[in-house]
């Protein structure tokens, strides 16, 4: 009887430990996305209004378009992971007002959509499979990792845009 009680207690403790570990993963994701949001806001704030339509070369996106592209992906990936339909469609193409104030508002709302979605995900759901863009099979956790990489990549590209406007980019925020 003592062995069964001990075994039951051990199983219960392992369950609690596993749940706490999984919950820590979603908490960490939220924390990292909040950091990314704050870092991106620094980029948006650093660019003068006149630089929002600037392009290093004519064939690439403007600063505003880069930030809206980043935001489109935030909505699309997060919608796939959470199953919550994105409230926006193709901000990069459909946004007429590409002013600093409006782009900043739209980008921050996109980060909030991701963060709010992650907060609603049960930790075990991160292991569920999702098909991105009808082609790529992966876990929901991996899809969020890919999305984080995407927003980091495009924010990083805008460092050159800031430099071309004579602005020092914000210092890196790894922690």
- Annotated binding residues for a divalent metal cation: 69, 150, 154
- Write the DSSP symbol of residue 96: -
Strands (E), the chain: 129-132, 136-139
Binding residues: 69, 150, 154
Separation CA 24–CA 30 (nearest Å): 10
- For residue 104, CA distances in Å to 90, 143, 150, 170 come to 16, 25, 18, 16
Nearest to 107 by CA among 162, 169, 42, 170: 42
């Amino acid at each position: 009887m003592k062995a069964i009680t001990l075994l039951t207690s051990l199983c219960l403790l392992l369950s609690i430990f596993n749940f706490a570990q999984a919950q820590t993963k979603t908490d960490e994701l939220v924390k990292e996305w909040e950091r990314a949001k704050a870092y991106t806001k620094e980029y948006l704030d650093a660019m003068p209004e006149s630089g929002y339509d600037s392009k290093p070369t004519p064939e690439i996106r403007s600063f505003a378009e880069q930030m809206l592209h980043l935001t489109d992906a935030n909505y699309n990936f997060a919608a796939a992971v959470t199953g919550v339909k994105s409230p926006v469609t193709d901000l990069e193409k459909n946004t007429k007002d590409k002013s600093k104030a409006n782009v900043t508002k739209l980008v921050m709302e996109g980060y909030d959509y991701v963060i709010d979605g992650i907060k609603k995900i049960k930790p075990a759901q991160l292991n569920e499979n999702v098909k991105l863009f009808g082609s790529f099979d992966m876990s929901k956790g991996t899809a969020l990792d890919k999305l984080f990489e995407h927003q980091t990549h495009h924010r990083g590209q805008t460092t050159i845009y800031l430099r071309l406007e004579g602005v020092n980019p914000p210092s890196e925020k790894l922690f």
